A and B are shown apart, each in its own frame.
Chain A
Amino acid sequence: VSALLIGLPSKGRVHDEVVKWLAGAGLALMRDADGRGYRARLENLDGAEVWLLSAGEIAASLETGKIHAGVTGLDLMHERAGGVGPLARPLKGLGFARARVVVAVPDGWMDVETIADVVDVAARHFERTRARLRVATKYPELARRFFAAMGLRDYRIVASLGATEGAPAAGVAELIVDITETGATLGANHLKILEGGVILESQAVLAGSLAAPWSAENVAAFRRVMAAAGMPEAQSEMFAQAAIANLSP
């Protein structure tokens, strides 16, 4: 029988929080003795195997069904092309790694408070310069979908791999879409969050994949994990039923 495959973040603060959560729920993470360090098991849950992956890989693997379940950031699930797909289901917020994905503009843009202001500024900027406003972000998908819904069209995305908040000061973008916990880093970089500019309230989530081949044993094991995450019985039951309906032959 193949094990329930669970993807967990391999390092960083989210990893530490996950380890704490699992230990508290009696499902302590037990690294394999083989020393490779990318496989682990859960105490008291024989039918499960843990793969330690990057949070982005976990979001992708939930969609393709390479893993049955995992813990990743809600932001990363939404950043997948086309948004959260029908097969990758965020099931329960775990209450840590809380942060917001926001649109922020330079403090000095005294005339800009809302997205509607940005739409107007973008149109005038294009009218005058024949160039589009540049938006630095590591969330191009989230940004595009949000701006499309808001009617903002005259802009270009500038891919950012880190320190996005420095992009306007460095002159490589006019505004940014970035993730922030308190907004302090944005403030320190003379940026302000727009009214109505919160794209997503993110946190670490337990997620399940309906693209994965579930067995009855996998479903039973996952019920334990859902309970550990504090999922209400009715919701766990709903996901379990959906997984059972998908049972692999």
Chain B
Amino acid sequence: LIADAAAEMPFLAHYELGERARARVERATAAIAATFAQAGYAHVPLPIIQPADLYLDMAGEDVRDRMFLFEDPLGAALCLRADLTIPLCWRAIDEGMALPARLASSGPVFRFEPAESRLPAETIQAGAENLGEKDTLEADVEILRLARNGVGAGHDGPVRLELGDLGLFAALISDLKLEEVWARRFLYAFRHPSLLAPLVAEIREGAALKPPPLLASATRTDAERYVMGKLKIEASETVGGRSVQEIAERLLDKVKLARSNRPSSDDLTHIGAFLAIDGPAEIGLARLQALAAHNGRLAGALAGLGARLARARVHLQSGDEIQISTTLGRGFLYYTGLVFDIRAAQLALPVAAGGRYDRMMQELGAPMPTPAVGCALWPERLVAAGGTP
């Protein structure tokens, strides 16, 4: 059994290790690569230096704090790659690879770590991405199996698989039948965790909202006329990059919000109970099912998670545990569905992590919707966790 309070053991970067440990990291990296290759994942070598925009466009300004950014002598904005997923996806799009594509890569990735974290800025990662497979259940199970087998190639102890599904929250909110303006705010706050407590406080305290001077019965056309009249512009004009229609739509939303029924305290309790689920899979799933309305969207989404759980279980090894968490990965905005971590004893950090990111390929420029799921493993952490052959 894996203790919850895993010792906060820092791990060393490969270049800080002694010769024998370093050889173990190399063997683990090679064994993971072999596992990926055997499963049909083609190895793609990737440059360490990447265009900075690739990451900043995808992840937003937030990631700047964690990245090594610089310019080349001609002024192009560059960075040290912070992961392998984004450059792998970009390569698949840039080369117009046939889909589905199974791609893998490995090597150092770079993230700034404050001194007190005692973590190295350079770590080795081995990643696999399954791009464009329309059967998402099969693809999810394949990646879970691959991640578990990859971990097994570098570490022979039992692990804890933590599973989540970022689609569950949207299903729960849909079942609650909140007014649309409130549903929107909850969905946004779920993915931006610092906003959730203020939102709940706002609902509980019932702070007065001042609606714009529009009638409750105002239609879209009324609101657009109001905006055009106030700003003295035509329907086709924009203001600071936003159209009359967009501004009118938000004004109407504010009217609705001020006059809407706030989520009830039962709704808040329901949402709170959902967010608190984090523990052994059977118990977690049962508690989720208890929250699901009969024939609702959550019930459907849970059937999907249950199927993945049942299929993944077959590929686990004796002594492994599975846990379910409703909040896992919600701050990583590119994830859209299944998310998971794999943890080994003794180590506070996961030895593998992954998930489904169905929107990223198109955001990077893929011509059509391209479902995608992948995983990343950290060989140095596997060696730190012990049991590496």
A residues engaging B (CB < 8 A)? Answer: 105-106, 108-112, 117, 119-121, 123-125, 128, 130, 132-133, 144, 147-149, 151, 153-157, 168, 171, 174-175
Which residues of chain A have C-beta atoms less than 8 A from B231's C-beta?
Answer: 108, 110
Answer whether residue B76 sits at the interface, using C-beta atoms and an 8 A cutoff: no
Expressed in whole angstroms, the minimum distance between the Cβ of B225 and any Cβ of chain A is 13
For the A-B complex with A106-B240, A132-B60, A168-B241 known, give 19 more contacts whose Cβ atoms are closer than 8 Å: A105-B240, A106-B239, A108-B233, A110-B230, A110-B231, A110-B247, A111-B212, A111-B251, A112-B250, A120-B250, A124-B246, A125-B241, A130-B362, A149-B194, A151-B195, A153-B61, A156-B57, A171-B241, A174-B240
Contact A121 B60 (CB under 8 A): no
Contact A153 B241 (CB under 8 A): no
Q: Which of A109, A111, A144, A156 has the most CB of B within 10 A?
A: A111
Which residues of chain A have C-beta atoms less than 8 A from B65's C-beta?
Answer: 144
Identify the closest chain B residue to A175 (Cβ). Answer: B240
Contact A157 B240 (CB under 8 A): no
Ranked nearest first, the 3 interchain pairs of A and B with the lowest CB-CB distance are A106-B240, A108-B239, A111-B250
Expressed in whole angstroms, the minimum distance between the Cβ of A2 and any Cβ of chain B is 30
Contact B240 A148 (CB under 8 A): no
A157-B194 contact given A111-B251, A123-B188, CB 8 Å threshold = no
Expressed in whole angstroms, the minimum distance between the Cβ of B21 and any Cβ of chain A is 33
Identify the closest chain A residue to B53 (Cβ). Answer: A156
Bound CA–CA A124/B246 (angstroms): 9
- Contacts A/B (CB < 8 Å), 27 sampled: A105-B240, A106-B239, A108-B239, A108-B240, A108-B247, A110-B230, A110-B231, A111-B212, A111-B254, A117-B250, A119-B195, A124-B246, A125-B241, A128-B246, A130-B362, A132-B60, A133-B241, A144-B61, A144-B65, A148-B62, A149-B194, A151-B195, A153-B61, A153-B192, A157-B61, A168-B241, A174-B241
Expressed in whole angstroms, the minimum distance between the Cβ of A149 and any Cβ of chain B is 8
Of the four ranges (under 10, 10 to 19, 20 to 34, 35 or more), the interface on chain B belongs to 20 to 34
Answer whether residue B64 sits at the interface, using C-beta atoms and an 8 A cutoff: yes
A interface: dominant SS: mixed
Identify the closest chain B residue to A129 (Cβ). Answer: B241
Answer whether residue B6 sits at the interface, using C-beta atoms and an 8 A cutoff: no
Contact A156 B60 (CB under 8 A): yes
Answer whether residue B9 sits at the interface, using C-beta atoms and an 8 A cutoff: no
Within 8 A of A (CB), among B210-264: 212, 227, 230-231, 233, 239-242, 246-247, 250-251, 254
Contact A110 B227 (CB under 8 A): yes
Which residues of chain B have C-beta atoms less than 8 A from A153's C-beta?
Answer: 60-62, 192, 333
Identify the closest chain A residue to B359 (Cβ). Answer: A130
- From A106, A147, A149, A151, give the contact of B61 (CB < 8 A): A147
Contact B247 A111 (CB under 8 A): yes
Contact B56 A174 (CB under 8 A): no
Bound CA–CA A165/B36 (angstroms): 52
Bound CA–CA A136/B254 (angstroms): 27
Answer whether residue B363 sits at the interface, using C-beta atoms and an 8 A cutoff: yes
Bound CA–CA A151/B227 (angstroms): 28
Expressed in whole angstroms, the minimum distance between the Cβ of B246 and any Cβ of chain A is 7
Bound CA–CA A91/B72 (angstroms): 39
Expressed in whole angstroms, the minimum distance between the Cβ of A70 and any Cβ of chain B is 27
Expressed in whole angstroms, the minimum distance between the Cβ of B23 and any Cβ of chain A is 38
